[in-house]
């Protein structure tokens, strides 16, 4: 039978606006908050694209973007902190957003909601509870990283009837067929890759869905771009931040998975260390589509969000040949030990501009024993210097708070960076979440009260990784901010009690 299906986007953005966490509305964080407010969840775009390609009808609901359709709302948002009239206007808009969402899901047979981010997840759960109350008989389907790792709890708490675990495209297609034939209502589900609520309200876990090996047979996420107002979102961000990157409409992930086993990262748990790749031709088509449909203003930056973009050199070289003349300049993240002179030279010729290296630490013992990263400090430094020598910009990221790494080790890192003139480097305070080895290490021996005290934000399910070196989250966050000041100025600032520097960890 035909099902009225609603796909909901912008749940994170709404939760962020509802919470408005400090210090998000300080001037320094304007770029971050503007992006958070108007960016959709990418996962729902992939699901929408595959449904659209198969002719499965759905109704899109952009909780924020359907109402935040004028640049003026960013000004109202900025002003609300000091202007009571602006605050009242913003809060009135929020009420209209939520009321519209609940009205549009009422009467739907199936409602699909993304639940990916650990940051602001409690706000998204409040939305799910509101959707459940507005449509008690609808089948509520959630998916994403957080949903995958917390499937039984979401079902038990009544926040989902079905959780799609891992990759969603093929699972959702099978699920829609089964729901259309009366599945779930008539006893249970056979679709692989889901956890669902049985007749007694208990979670039932079906076997995993096999991974999608041929990624090219999937439509790209921008195939459903019109339904999710990608053009408007991209135009807003490039107008507000002409030099910004990693914007929807000018970003894409060309592979899925990562072969590494870093203990702070969710990738090994979600992807089981398997990597699959889009072909160079597919990548070219997506990049060209974005250029033709979204680029209007600002610096034409394009961001590839692969965990390790340079993992397959021959493939990368072919990608460089195919996208060189499109018009974008390209920015990526990768590992510093996965670049060489030939690769960097080809990337430079193809208009790549920057490479971000996940460096984590310049302490080899910590890299090996704590992070389990198969690279050394020398690998990172040599890769960064070679990148700069060949005319591209290296960007290094580090983690403050890794177990066993003392403050002196961090200060040694800042000295090395300054000695080599590597100022595009940032320390982030370590936050951990369930499903990673570092979370298990953090939680071991701690009481629930002690774990709660480390919660990153009241609406977050991330926890600052506390230790004797950093006994409070305030101490860890302040130390990371101090290190960043030292990298750039050579003199650590007094950041006692500061919470500046935490936002990018979400």
Position 494 confidence tier, pLDDT thresholds 50, 70, 90:
very low
pLDDT tens, 382-396?
999 999 999 999 999
pLDDT of residue 268: 77
Q: Say yes or no to pLDDT of 504 above 90.
A: no
Average pLDDT (261-277) is: 83
pLDDT tens, 228-239?
999 999 999 999
Closest to 258 measured CA to CA, from 330, 207, 310:
310
Distance, in Å, from the CA atom of 482 to the CA atom of 494, rounded to the nearest integer, reads: 7
pTM over 0.85: yes
Q: What is the mean pLDDT of the chain?
A: 92
pLDDT of residue 59: 98
pLDDT of residue 304: 96
Average pLDDT (154-175) is: 96
Q: Is the distance from CB of 431 to CB of 465 less than 8 angstroms? A: yes
DSSP state for residue 221 in the 8-state scheme:
G
pLDDT tens, 287-325?
999 999 999 999 999 999 998 999 999 999 999 999 999
For strand 59-62 and strand 139-143, is the pairing parallel, antiparallel, or unpaired?
A: unpaired
Residue 334 token pair: 């990768």
Residue 400 token pair: 């403050």
pLDDT > 70: what percent of the chain? 96
Average pLDDT (48-69) is: 97
Long-range contacts of 196-205 (CB under 8 A, 24+ apart): 196/155, 196/161, 196/162, 196/163, 197/155, 197/160, 197/161, 197/162, 201/156, 201/158, 202/155, 202/156, 203/151, 203/152, 203/155, 203/156, 205/151, 205/152
Q: Say yes or no to pLDDT of 506 above 50.
A: no
pLDDT tens, 3-48?
999 999 999 999 999 999 988 999 989 999 999 999 999 999 999 9
Distance, in Å, from the CA atom of 151 to the CA atom of 202, rounded to the nearest integer, reads: 11
pLDDT tens, 72-103?
999 999 999 999 999 999 999 999 999 999 99
Helix count and strand count (H, E) for the chain? 20, 17
Residue 370 token pair: 């704590």
pLDDT of residue 499: 33
For strand 194-197 and strand 162-164, is the pairing parallel, antiparallel, or unpaired?
A: antiparallel
pLDDT of residue 14: 98
Position 357 confidence tier, pLDDT thresholds 50, 70, 90:
very high
Phi and psi at 12, nearest 5°, equal: -65, -45
**Which CATH superfamily groups domain 242-505?**
Aldolase class I (3.20.20.70)
For strand 162-164 and strand 393-400, is the pairing parallel, antiparallel, or unpaired?
A: unpaired
pLDDT tens, 403-430?
999 999 999 999 999 999 999 999 999 9
Bridge partners, residue 304, by sequence: 252, 332
Distance, in Å, from the CA atom of 169 to the CA atom of 364, rounded to the nearest integer, reads: 40
Q: Where are the domains of the chain?
A: 5-205, 242-505
pLDDT tens, 173-219?
999 999 999 888 777 899 999 999 998 889 999 999 999 999 999 99
pLDDT of residue 1: 65
């Amino acid at each position: 039978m035909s099902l009225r299906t609603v796909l909901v986007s912008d749940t994170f953005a709404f939760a962020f606006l509802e919470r408005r966490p400090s210090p998000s509305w300080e001037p320094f964080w304007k770029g971050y908050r503007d992006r958070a407010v108007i960016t959709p969840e990418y996962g729902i775009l992939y699901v929408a694209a595959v449904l659209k390609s198969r002719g499965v009808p759905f109704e899109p609901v952009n909780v924020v973007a359907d109402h935040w359709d004028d640049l003026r709302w960013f000004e109202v948002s900025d002003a609300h902190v000091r202007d009571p009239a602006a605050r009242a206007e913003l809060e009135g808009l929020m009420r209209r957003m939520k009321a519209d969402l609940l009205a549009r899901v009422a009467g739907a047979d199936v409602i699909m909601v993304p639940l990916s981010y650990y940051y602001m997840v409690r706000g998204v759960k409040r939305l799910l509870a509101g959707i459940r109350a507005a449509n008690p008989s609808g089948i509520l389907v959630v998916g994403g990283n957080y949903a995958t790792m917390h499937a039984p709890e979401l079902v038990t708490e009544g926040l989902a009837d079905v959780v799609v675990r891992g990759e969603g495209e093929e699972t959702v297609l099978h699920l829609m067929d089964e729901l259309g034939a009366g599945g779930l209502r008539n006893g249970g589900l056979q679709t692989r890759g889901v956890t669902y609520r049985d007749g007694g309200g208990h979670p039932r876990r079906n076997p995993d869905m096999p991974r999608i090996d041929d990624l090219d047979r999937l439509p790209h996420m921008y195939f459903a771009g019109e339904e999710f107002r990608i053009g408007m979102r991209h135009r807003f961000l490039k107008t507000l931040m002409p030099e910004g990157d990693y914007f929807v409409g000018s970003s894409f992930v060309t592979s899925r998975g990562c072969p590494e086993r870093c203990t702070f990262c969710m990738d090994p748990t979600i992807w089981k260390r398997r990597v699959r790749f889009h072909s160079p031709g597919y990548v070219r088509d997506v990049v060209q589509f974005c250029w033709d449909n979204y680029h209007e203003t600002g610096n034409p930056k394009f961001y590839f969000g692969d965990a390790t973009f340079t993992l397959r050199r021959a493939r990368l070289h072919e990608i460089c040949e195919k996208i060189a003349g499109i018009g974008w300049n390209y920015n990526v993240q990768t590992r510093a030990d996965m670049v060489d002179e030939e690769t960097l030279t080809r990337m430079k010729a193809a208009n790549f501009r920057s490479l971000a290296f996940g460096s984590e630490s310049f302490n080899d013992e910590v890299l090996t024993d704590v992070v389990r990263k198969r690279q050394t400090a020398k690998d990172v430094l040599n890769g960064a210097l070679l990148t700069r020598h060949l005319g591209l910009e290296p960007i290094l990221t580090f983690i403050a708070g890794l177990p066993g790494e003392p403050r002196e080790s961090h200060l040694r890192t800042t000295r090395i960076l300054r000695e080599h003139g590597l100022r595009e480097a940032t320390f982030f305070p370590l936050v951990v979440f369930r499903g990673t080895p570092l979370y298990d290490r953090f939680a071991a021996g701690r009481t629930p009260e002690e774990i709660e005290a480390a919660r990153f934000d009241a609406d977050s399910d991330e926890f600052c990784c506390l230790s004797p070196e950093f006994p409070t989250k305030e101490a860890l966050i302040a130390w990371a901010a101090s290190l960043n000041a030292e990298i750039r100025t050579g003199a650590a600032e007094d950041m006692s009690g500061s919470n500046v520097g935490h936002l990018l960890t979400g």
